[in-house]
Amino acid sequence: MKKPTYIEDLQQWVNEFSFSHEVRVRFSETDMFGHLNNTVPFVYFEEARIEFFKSLGFMQDWTDAGSSTIPVVADLQCDFLQQVYFGEELEVCVKAHQVGTSSVDLHYLGRKGNGELCFVGRGRMVQLNKLTGKGEAWSEEQRNLFLSRETLKK
């Protein structure tokens, strides 16, 4: 594995994850090359990210019709470390790597049942104000929730 630029020390990076979500590879998520199609880990990232936010207590606001803010994905990337097959159960881990004014850089890790990493990734989310279309700063409470759960980059 050629180390992605967003990982400094792989072992330490792996150890810092404390939230995980389990997915099982669907048949419809494979392709004619017999493995998981490369577009699907991003679906897993979204599912795990939302569960991560739910665990912090954020998501409830964002999906409320009256909410003035929504989370928007600014960028996403994934490094595919080994092939994944139909029926495999994967642990998809999420952590907040760095918290900005109105954004957060989330890191992701996909792990097989035997403990081997199969994909890693990252992506920045921004909390947008629906009316202005601009970034809305995290509240003190939201910022503390990130800090409480994660080992953030200083």
Enumerate binding residues for a second copy (CB under 8 A): 4, 26-28, 30-35, 37-39, 42-43, 46-47, 50, 63, 70, 72-80, 83, 86-87
Nearest approach, Cβ of residue 97 and a second copy (Å): 15
Choice between 40 and 145, CB closer to a second copy:
40
Give the DSSP letter string of 18-63: -EEEEEE--GGGB-TTSSB-TTHHHHHHHHHHHHHHHHHT-HHHHT
Choice between 132 and 148, CB closer to a second copy:
132
Nearest approach, Cβ of residue 135 and a second copy (Å): 12
Choice between 35 and 111, CB closer to a second copy:
35
What residues form DSSP beta bridges with 111? 91, 117
Nearest approach, Cβ of residue 50 and a second copy (Å): 6
- Note the Cα 151 to chain centre separation in Å: 15
Distances (CA, A) of 131 to 67, 68, 142, 143: 11, 7, 20, 22
